[in-house]
Each structure stands twice: as C-alpha cells, then as structure tokens.
Structure 1
Amino acid sequence: MKKEILTAAALSAGLLASTAAPSYAEEKTEFKLAWSIYVGWMPWGYLEDSGIMDKWADKYGITVDIVQINDYVESINQYTAGAFDGVSATNMDTLSIPSGGGVDTTALIIGDYSNGNDAVILKGDGSIADLAGKPVNLVELSVSHYLLARGLDSVGLSEADLDSVINTSDADMIAAFTTKDVQAVVTWNPLVSEILASNPDASNVFDSSKIPGEILDLMVVNTETLADNPKFGKAVAGAWYEVMSLMAAGDEAALTAMAEASGTDLEGYKAQLMATEMFYEPADAVAQAMSAQLPVTMTEVAKFLFDKGILGEGAPSPDFVGVAYPDGTVTGDKNNIKFRFDPTYMQLAADGAL
C-alpha cells in the first residue's frame, strides 16, 4: 500500500510539473537553487554561507539564492513544480521525477559519484543474503531502492525475497534504526556514518563502492532557463569550482564549516569524503560526462525505474524518456529528450574561461 501511495504521489508531481510549472523561456536575473544534506552536496551550503556564490553572481550581474531543503525528495518535487531553477539530485532521481514528469533538465555540474556513501545496513552480523525474509526501510523509489536491487541481484535475490520494503523518510532514518521492528535500512551519508557509529551491532553489508559510477551526484537545472541565461551557468560553475579548489587544497576552515553543517566534525566529514569520488577538477567532471559507460548506466537506471512504474505516467517502455549525451547520442526516445548531460560550463571552468 505504501508503495502505491508513493507512486501515485510521484505521478501527481509529474502532472503538476507538466501543467502548472511556469514558462522558463526568458532572460532573468534572479535564480534559486535547492539542496539537501549529503556529503557531496555540502559545498552548496558553503557557497551560500561563505559569500562565494554572491561574489560570482555579482560578477555576472545576477543573484543566486541557494536554499537548503531538509527532505531530499521534497526538494526535487519543488524543483519539478517550478519553485526552483535547479536542485541537487542524483542521476536516477532526476530521470524519474523531473525528467519523467516532463521537465527538460540539464546536468550543469557533475559533482561526484558515490563510492561507499550509500549503504545497506543490517542489524547484527551477516551479509546482503541475510536480508531474505526481512523488512527493509528506505526512501522508496530513490537511489537507496536502486542500491538495494543491485545488492540483492549480486547474490541471486530480488525484492520478492524480502519480507517487505517500508518507505521511510531520510529525516526519520536514524531514529527508525533504533526501534525494535527495524532490521535493515538503506540510506546515504551522513546518515550511514551516524548509524554505524552509534549502533555497535550495525553491519554494512553492501554499498555503492560495489557499483562505482552508477550513483552520480549532480546539480541539475531547467534546460530552458540555462539556455536563456548563460550567465547563470557561468556563475554557478565558477562558484562551485572555487570551492572545489579549496577542498582539494585541504582548506580546514571550509571543510570544518561543511562538517558542522552536516552534523559531524572535521574528521567525520573527511571520512565521508573518503567514500566519495569527488570531481575536484572540472576536467574530471567533463570526462565523466563523456564516459562511454554513462549511457550504459542510464539505460540500466531507466530499466529499474520502468520496472518500478515511476519512469513517468503511462511510460510504455524503459525508453520513454530520452537522455542526451555530449557526443550527440541519445538513449531512450529521441523525440522526448528530457535529461541532458551538457559539459559546457564545466569545460569553461576547465579552460579557465569563466
């Protein structure tokens, strides 16, 4: 029943986006980005708090407000409905919610890929195979659900072998794990680190290091907004890579601020970064966008979403949404391109042209 309710909500969000979202085809000077707590997205909060975003926005004669939303899925829903010009999201959730809902969306920044930050956590000793017959709590139909499916598949199991999947907000995950009825959760950092640190009987039985490059962490923006406002793309990319240079240099003031904002200390945040393949250099992010593996990954993600019934209302096949890549190739429907990997602004940063 919970699955049916959430699926209906996702479809409603898509309908809202396609019928109620405002027209973006215009030049403007005020922009809003949404983000939520996650190790690879903490720089967005630092951009706002440090004034670095304001500095770059002033350079281009615009304003860019960066707003933290406590509920990750809600932040994407708000972007999809037109309340924000961009949002921090994974490749999978971008495909399923805004793109699947008809909002043409571009990956402006590829920030990192999860390399252990997303994990399946079991109470007690065991392995991923020991989930058979047990309930699992997660943010249903999110990257956590995808990770669970990939983990189960690695040992010849499927979701049908579980007792149940229980939809649980990321805001409630830590408290849920301490309750007697919860036996396993799937979530992301900093929640993973907190659960493992505060529960001696918790075991990481499968994580995203087993599927490198499949869970990409992005800043995605409305395609028409970006096309009509290149200064927006330049300002955001310039600000982002200024912070990336600070992080790469080990700037303790910046890293400590991000750590505290995420509810941990400097060492705790550094530990989370160890499980994150950050693209500190823009050229590395461009290479990821142009990777031959990316279309393969997105095809697999589309299949997962279609199987779960959340690739857009009435999607007839996994190819329902077209995804465009830098070399001009498209996976999915070429007549319904709603997700684009465009390295233009990352390349400008790499060239020192911002």
Structure 2
Amino acid sequence: MRLPSLLRKSVFAGICAALSCTSVSAASLKVGYSDWPGWVAWQIAIDKGWLKEAKVDADFQWFDYGASLDAFAAHKLDAVMATNGDALMMGANGHKGEMILATDYSDGNDMVVAQPGITSMQELKGKSIAVEEGLVDHLLLLKALEQSGMSEKDVKLVNTKTNEMPQVLASGEVAAVVAWQPNSGQALRAVPGSRPVFTSHQVPGLIYDTIVVDPQSVHDNREQWQRLVGVWDRVVTYIQDPKTQPDALRIMSHLAGVTPVAYKHFLNGTHLLTLSDNKAVFVKKEGLSSLYGSTEVANTFNLQQGVYKKSQNVDSYINPSFTASVK
C-alpha cells in the first residue's frame, strides 16, 4: 500500500530541476491519495457529497503511493497523504509540507511474518530476515528486535523489494519477511502455517498516516482546509457504525479493487483517529502517542539509514492549529 522509499531521495533532490516547480495553490484543492485505508476513507466523503456540503472545492487524485510523493515534490499537488516519516523525507529533499491531520496509525497491517514452526522474534536470532532496507517496515523490524532484547546485529538482513516478500518467504531462503498489507497477507497465504510474530499493533503510533499540505496552500486556502478537516469525523463515524459500515466497505473496496471482505481485513489493521483523538495526538510530547514523539523516532531512523544527512526540525512539519480549531 504505502511505499516510503529510501531510493526516492535522489529523485526528490533533482525532480524540480526537470520540472517547472511553482506553487499549485488555488481555489480547487488538489489532493493526492493512494491505497491505504485511512486515505481511501476519503472516497466516502467524495461519493456522499460531504465535501461539497462543507463547501470544500477539492480535486482528489488517485495515485500509486510513490507517484503521489513525486507529484507533491514537483508542486503539482496542494497536499498528499503520506506517513509522518515520508513528510520529513520530502522536506529534506526540497518540498516541505505541514501535517494538519493524522487519519490513522498502522495497527497490525505492518508485520514480521515467519516460517512455519517459528513462534517468536527470539527464535529468529541468527537467522535471515527479508526487509526493504530504509523503508518504514525496516523501522518496524528494529522496534521488534528491540522489544525482544535483540538488535540488528543478531539477525541477517536480506534487502528485498516489499512486493517480492510473498515469493521470497515461499522460497524458503529466509526465516521471515517484513511487509505491510496486502504483501504481508499474501505472504501468509503463500506459506501455509506461517504466522506474524510481530505487528504494528504492538507499537501503536510508530507509523502515523497524515495529510501533508503545501505551506503556501495552508496560507492561501486556510478556510477550505479547516472545513475539510471538519468533515473527517463524519467519515470515521460512517466506517465504524455497524449500520453503515457495509456501505463504507463497498465504497472503499471498489476504489482499491478488492472485495469488501478483504478490505475489512485491511481496515481491522488500521486504527482510525477521530478529531478528538487528533487533539491528543497533536499535543507535543515524547513517545509514540504523540505525532511529535513518533516523528522524532522517524527522524532518527531516517538519519541512521541515510535517507537524508541533516536532522529535521520536527516541530516545523506539524501544524496543530486545524484540529485544535474544530469544536
């Protein structure tokens, strides 16, 4: 679904040299979104006409995740749906945005999937683990090892593309793979008896999914962004209400190209955040319960992995004023 990419850093650094990069700030908000439940959820507001009711003139544009980051980097979008770690990556490489809303955090969709017979992280000591190095699930693996009393030195990393994880696990060449849905689910199906031995459910708040807005658009279109944020609770309620959830799943699964049953499984691994939740998440403090604390963790990881060389001022990427203004 998401593809936070270390390999994209050179693309971001040079993309504006190849394209005419001027601010896209305009009355119609151009928003890039992609296949992650907390972002696909906006299709409900689009289909139900709730954005228009709120007088939000927004053009939501569907992308593969990496392509949406490229479009934002090239100033072709007012906003993009991105992980908090990727917000830092984009800023470090030329286009800094402001996170104005956290739609959710990963709550099980990202996982370490082990071969049959392996039931814990400790049993992976000395064994090979496939992970796409420098990406968000590499960070998940480091946290899994840390919580199990180990470090990266206790395992053998095999750098592997995330979309290849099901085949790699099935080959038997590694003891485990690290991936997010749908790749993690495909790996589980590819190897009967395989199981998750660690998931993002065990580190809530490690991976926040957000709306990142161009600062010029924040300035020029503040009222529209405020109204868009105000629609979010209506979306979350529609998804969580048992009476309306079937219709919500129908809308979301249709956009993602899977069945409602499959999409409900993805949704179960995503912790949607209400506006009340956001008010708490946007309080500055250490730890993963705060967007600030979580993003500091992502900043440290990005530096260690060479995603960028200069530490980022996390506070400057987070704009709590929109969620704070919602009554």
Measured against the shorter chain, the TM-score band is 0.7 to 0.9
In the alignment, does 2:322 pair up with 1:345? yes
Shift of 1:306: 0.9
1:283/1:94 Cα in 2 relative to 1: closer, same or farther (>3 Å)?
same
Shift of 1:44: 3.0
Task: Give yes or no for contact 1:31–1:85 (8 Å, CA) kept in 2.
Answer: yes
The counterpart of 2:241, out of the listed 249, 257, 261, is: 249
Shift of 1:111: 0.9
Shift of 1:277: 2.0
Distance 1:188 1:287 in 2: 26
In the alignment, does 2:88 pair up with 1:89? no
Which stretch shows the higher mean deviation, 110-119 or 10-19? 10-19
Distance 1:189 1:8 in 2: 20
Shift of 1:154: 2.1
The counterpart of 1:122, out of the listed 84, 89, 114, is: 114
Shift of 1:292: 2.4
In the alignment, does 2:33 pair up with 1:35? yes
In the alignment, does 2:295 pair up with 1:298? yes
Other-structure match for 1:137: 130
1:14/1:47 Cα in 2 relative to 1: closer, same or farther (>3 Å)?
farther
The counterpart of 1:272, out of the listed 243, 266, 272, is: 266
**One-letter amino acid of the counterpart of residue 42, structure 1:** V
1:272/1:179 Cα in 2 relative to 1: closer, same or farther (>3 Å)?
same
**One-letter amino acid of the counterpart of residue 346, structure 1:** T
Other-structure match for 1:190: 182
Other-structure match for 2:9: 10
TM-score (norm 1): 0.78
Shift of 1:291: 5.1
The counterpart of 1:209, out of the listed 201, 213, 217, is: 201
Indicate the RMSD between aligned Cα atoms, in angstroms: 2.9
Distance 2:78 2:127 in 1: 40
CA deviation map 1:221-240 (0-9, x unaligned): 11221122114413432443
Shift of 1:168: 0.7
Distance 1:56 1:142 in 2: 38
Task: Give yes or no for contact 2:167–2:187 (8 Å, CA) kept in 1.
Answer: no
Q: Summarize the alignment of residues 143-222 of structure 1 with structure 2, pairs less than 5 Å apart.
A: 143-170=136-163, 172-181=164-173, 183-222=175-214
Distance 2:71 2:25 in 1: 21
Task: Give yes or no for contact 2:207–2:294 (8 Å, CA) kept in 1.
Answer: no
Shift of 1:260: 4.2
**One-letter amino acid of the counterpart of residue 298, structure 1:** T
SS in 2 for 1:125: coil
Distance 1:179 1:38 in 2: 28
1:9/1:219 Cα in 2 relative to 1: closer, same or farther (>3 Å)?
closer
Task: Give yes or no for contact 2:218–2:225 (8 Å, CA) kept in 1.
Answer: yes
Shift of 1:176: 4.6
1:222/1:208 Cα in 2 relative to 1: closer, same or farther (>3 Å)?
same
Segments of structure 1 that go 5 or more residues without pairing to the other structure are 1-5, 325-336
Task: Give yes or no for contact 2:170–2:190 (8 Å, CA) kept in 1.
Answer: no
Other-structure match for 2:95: 103
Segments of structure 2 that go 5 or more residues without pairing to the other structure are none
Distance 2:37 2:294 in 1: 22
1:292/1:54 Cα in 2 relative to 1: closer, same or farther (>3 Å)?
closer
Distance 1:92 1:162 in 2: 24
Identity score, percent: 25
Task: Give yes or no for contact 1:114–1:209 (8 Å, CA) kept in 2.
Answer: yes
Between Structure 1 and Structure 2, how many residues are aligned?
316
Shift of 1:151: 1.0
In the alignment, does 2:76 pair up with 1:77? no
Shift of 1:255: 2.0
CA deviation map 1:74-131 (0-9, x unaligned): 4323322323222221112222x21221322111221111222211111222122343
Other-structure match for 1:309: 306
Distance 1:56 1:347 in 2: 22
TM-score (norm 2): 0.83
**One-letter amino acid of the counterpart of residue 195, structure 1:** A
Distance 1:139 1:74 in 2: 18
Task: Give yes or no for contact 2:51–2:228 (8 Å, CA) kept in 1.
Answer: no
Shift of 1:169: 4.1
Other-structure match for 2:21: 22
**One-letter amino acid of the counterpart of residue 323, structure 1:** V
